Amino acid sequence: MKEVFPSYYGKFKCIADKCKHSCCIGWEIDIDEAAMDLYQSLSGELAERIRTNIEGEVPHFVLDEKERCPFLNKNGLCDIISTYGEEALCDICYLHPRFSHFYEDFTETGLGLCCEEAVRLILTEKEKFSVSLPSSVRNDGFFKERNEVFEILQNRTAPMLQRFQKLAEKYGLKFDFSNDLLYDFYMSLERLDKSWENELLKLKEAKGKAVFERKDLQIFFEQLACYFIFRHFKNGVGFALLSCWVIGEICAECRSMEEMLDVVRMYSSEIEYSEENTEKVVAFFRKR
């Protein structure tokens, strides 16, 4: 089956020990059947350590008291990769932060924003988002509609706020939300990181739509919106609009691009990587 990728995809490379928010810390690491078979077949000291650090009806690695993977060493590198190579990783480790959408005769694969290097790559990319669909894909229905959304979001002759408003109008919506209501809603969701609560508090202090008109942030919001459409278009444009609003309002008081990228990373980790939270955000928007 043919696999297609966003234009920036080939630029991604894991920064390993340079990562400040390692995906080897705080995430449950399930082990797929093929990897389990491999680990059972290996011999040696590390192989034995791998087997003794697996438990559960759904096999997964046992994290230590600091929620670190037992194979993340003090240098921030993976012992399994260092000894056996990347091919010995379980699927969840090998594929992260990638996600895939499966269609009839091809697969779209992208990068998730929960990874700090993916966030930096995607949201600082100057070229317009694009993905080259196979020639066999008919330009109608789902893909035609999605392309029309991309065209609205990528119209750089208009400020980003107007683009968001035009997209909302296309679907009979409004790009305008109550931050107090959003604060209560997002606080009601399952939270993984206590620091996310501090970021949500900024919603109460946000001053409205001005952040979307900042000239220095036009490409940032364009790429952010295109990412959400690419990943969540099946959930409706509401998910993208609401997510961009919340991130923008929180970022309004950020003092640097680095802080803003970290807000996006946390939003992705807290919302996108919880199926329950994603479903609740989609449902919240549809009830408005």
Q: CA-CA distance, 29 to 21, in Å (whole number)?
A: 16
In a domain, 2, yes or no: no
Give me the pLDDT at residue 21, please.
87
Model confidence at 90: pLDDT above 70: yes
Reported as a pLDDT band with limits 50, 70 and 90, residue 14 is confident
In a domain, 232, yes or no: yes
Model confidence at 288: pLDDT above 80: no
Report the mean per-residue pLDDT for the chain. 92
Question: Are 192 and 273 in the same domain?
Answer: yes
Q: What is the DSSP letter of 270?
A: I
Question: For the segment 47-72, what is each residue's pLDDT rounded down to a tens digit?
Answer: 999 999 999 889 999 998 888 999 99
Measured CA to CA in angstroms, residue 13 lies from 1, 17, 74, 117, 259 at distances of 24, 12, 21, 8, 21
Give me the pLDDT at residue 287, please.
65
Which of 95, 126, 158 is the endpoint of a domain? Answer: 95
Q: Computed over its alpha carbons, how large is the radius of gyration of the chain? A: 20
Predicted TM-score (pTM) of the model is: 0.91
For every residue of 45-74, DSSP letters joined together read: HHHHHHHHTEETTTTEE---TTSB-TTB-T
Which of 95, 110, 128 is the endpoint of a domain? Answer: 95
Cβ distance 92 to 58 under 8 Å? no
Q: Give the closest residue to 274 by CA, choosing from 149, 182, 189, 173.
A: 189
Range of the domain at 68: 24-95
Question: For the segment 163-188, what is each residue's pLDDT rounded down to a tens digit?
Answer: 999 999 999 999 999 999 999 999 99
Residue 83's H or E segment, with its range, is helix 79-84
Q: Considering only 96-100, 125-129, 207-211, which range has the smallest mean pLDDT?
A: 207-211
Q: How many structural domains compose the chain?
A: 2
Nearby residues of 70 by Cβ (< 8 Å), 6 or more positions away:
49, 53, 61, 62, 63, 64
